[in-house]
Amino acid sequence: MVDLRIFSYLPNPRVMKAAIAARALGVDIEIVGDSGKNLSNWLWDVNPRLLEEDERTADSPHIRHGKRGFDSALYKTDAFLACHPFGTVPAAFSPDGQIGIFESNSILRTVARLGKGLYGRDEYESSRIDSFLDANLVFAREFQAYLFALAGNELDAALHERMRDAYEFYVAGIDAAIGDEDFLVGGCLSIADISFACDFAQFDRERYYSKELAKLGLVSLRETLADTYPSAERYHLALLKHSDIAPDLGPYVAELASKLAAR
């Protein structure tokens, strides 16, 4: 039996957080899922599965409306929602399916706890790691809404300004914390670095919309990072090459780079 099961759309940098930590710590996790587009054809359940076509009907007892990032109908069972009250993926489950763990940073924490590593040397370091994870979640939620608006051609100046404030606040803190160091806490890789690497790789998608931003007279915040926050930029690029991180994030970042080149 695996130590943790995760259901999500794939590839998903939020899932990569757990995958990176699991490989580094030797924790056995199982990741099940499909492309974002196809996840609307799945039963979101404690035992997720692809639905047959005749099960995907408007009168299905499991039908729900997507709330965040999904416009289509989704099929979520009551058992899934009992474990995952916010109804989101990535959705992790204890091996017996009794306990749902949501929020990718908390799924990452689960792996670190199971593998007894990457989570600081004492309670103070663990708590400082938690501080970075919490700050990171706030930033990630801001850029999630911003990227949805960009993808849906719904961005306006007010949302861009809100994103810029969130970006300045968060990235200035990371830049100051990292300075010339390689890792955020305790001089070695921790889940704070892994979470930053994965979320920031997702924020990198903002660069894909630089033309749309320019049309609105706005700048890509990501494009300004190297000039304004060189320590954060150096740290981000170094993490992408880290031997524990590159196997998961490498293909994701490479795909974005090829899409950018093709634009």
Which residues of this protein are in contact with ligand GSH, per CB under 6 A? Answer: 14, 66-70, 74, 87-90, 103-104, 140
CB neighbour list of residue 243: distance below 8 Å, 6 or more residues apart: none
CB of residue 116 to ligand GSH, shortest distance in Å? 23
What number of other Cβ atoms are within 10 A of residue 77's Cβ? Answer: 17
Q: Which is nearer to ligand GSH, 63 or 216 (CB)?
A: 63
Shortest gap between Cβ of 204 and ligand GSH (angstroms)? 16
Nearer to ligand GSH by Cβ, of 69 and 186: the residue is 69
Q: 154 in the Ramachandran plot: left (φ > 0), alpha (ψ -120 to 50) or beta?
A: alpha
Write down the least CB distance from residue 121 to ligand GSH, Å.
Answer: 26
CB of 255 to ligand GSH, least distance (A): 18
**Angle, nearest 10°, between helix axes 157-178 and 123-151?**
150
Nearest CB to ligand GSH, comparing residues 88 and 228: 88
* CA–CA distances in Å: residue 51 to residues 54, 64, 177, 218: 8, 15, 47, 43
Nearer to ligand GSH, 142 or 233 (CB): 142
Contact 162, 141 (CB under 8 A): no
Q: Which two tokens stand for residue 180?
A: 């010339």
Cβ nearer to ligand GSH, comparing 22 with 218:
22
Looking at the Cβ atoms of 39 and 184, the one nearer to ligand GSH is: 39
Question: What 3-state DSSP class applies to 58?
Answer: coil
Work out how close the CB of 107 gets to ligand GSH at its nearest, in angstroms, rounded to a whole number.
7
Closest CA to 132 of 38, 51, 41, 198: 198
Nearest distance from C-beta of residue 87 to ligand GSH, angstroms:
5
* H/E element, 34: strand 29-34
Look at residue 97 and give its three-state secondary structure: coil
